[in-house]
Homo-oligomer: A and B are copies of this chain.
Amino acid sequence: MAQSIYTAEALKAELNSKGCRMTPQREKILKAFQELPEGEHLSAEDLYHKLQAQNENISLSTIYRTVKMMARMGILRELELAEDHKHYELNQPRPHHHHHLICVKTNKVIEFKNDQVLSISQKVAEKYGFQVLDCELRIVGISPEGQRSIF
């Protein structure tokens, strides 16, 4: 099952099985996400700077290529929050998925968890023969602060 591959060795094996290669860059990117506290997520740019701060010079192009690849492998989950760029985080095994409550006016984002959502997703995916990599309930609305503003 793809979503529990977290060691560098396992990543290498997974890559090789697809005719792809392990590289220092890929290993460091994986490590960066593993070191991230639960609930945090990075944009490509964030990751780039985080690595720079650790004296790891990996180009932005490689980062974009790698995170997209890892998302397709089910290692990372790709989040679309209110901003206009994607964020990534490790795709946790089933019980840790979390969801988002987003304000259209203030762009405020609240995270929450919910087990029912997970089982619903599982059931729906099964019906269509899909293998679930990720599920996310996005509730879009207006926060208390937003309700006060005219526009």
**Which residues does A use to contact B, with CB under 8 Å?**
18-20, 71-72, 74, 77-78, 80, 99, 101, 103-105, 110, 112, 114, 116-117, 120-121, 124-125, 128-144, 147, 150-151
How many chain copies? 2
Residues on the B chain within 8 Å of A124, using CB: 99, 101, 112, 114, 139
A130 with B135: CB separation less than 8 A: no
A140 with B129: CB separation less than 8 A: no
Residues on the B chain within 8 Å of A132, using CB: 139-141
Residues on the B chain within 8 Å of A71, using CB: 104
Q: A78-B140, A104-B71, A140-B78 are in contact. Are A131 and B116 (CB under 8 A)?
A: no
